Amino acid sequence: MWLIALEDLIVSVDDRYRTKRNADPDGAVLPGIRYARNAVVHGETVTATVDERPGAMLGVAPLASFALAEGPSNQWKDRPSIGFTPTPSPYVPQQEQSYDTQLAGQDVSPSLERALTFLRYAAAT
């Protein structure tokens, strides 16, 4: 929610913002995050907990008897599984494409970190 609120503020004061965002690899996640935010506002769940590799996590099982593995992660769901139909707008196709290419199936935290990195840059310029 806050990332999109910050983006809206920057859009209101910088006419060139969207062009800069669309050209930046980290900024490219923001339309997809906006799609996810809109889906959540309408009651949809956009992430799922996924166990990527079975095995022991530190502090959970004796290491001598199990292979060390990564714990579960939160990942963005594939867009068709979300069940959200956005209100038509000229921005929706870009939001859906960004979600599909930048977020779907990816871990949540790195995507949010990329968006925050870009927004810090955009707010400073």
Q: What is the identity of the amino acid at 5?
A: A
The H or E element containing residue 96 is: helix 92-98
* pLDDT value at 57 more than 90: no
| pLDDT band with cut points at 50, 70 and 90 for residue 71 | low
Q: Tell me the pTM.
A: 0.82
| pLDDT band with cut points at 50, 70 and 90 for residue 29 | very high
pLDDT tens profile 1-14: 999 999 999 999 99
* DSSP one-letter code for 12: H
Q: Give the dihedral of Cα atoms 121, 45, 75, 48; nearest 10 deg.
A: 160
Beta-bridged to residue 73, according to DSSP, are: 50
Strands (E), the chain: 47-50, 73-76
Q: What is the identity of the amino acid at 77?
A: K
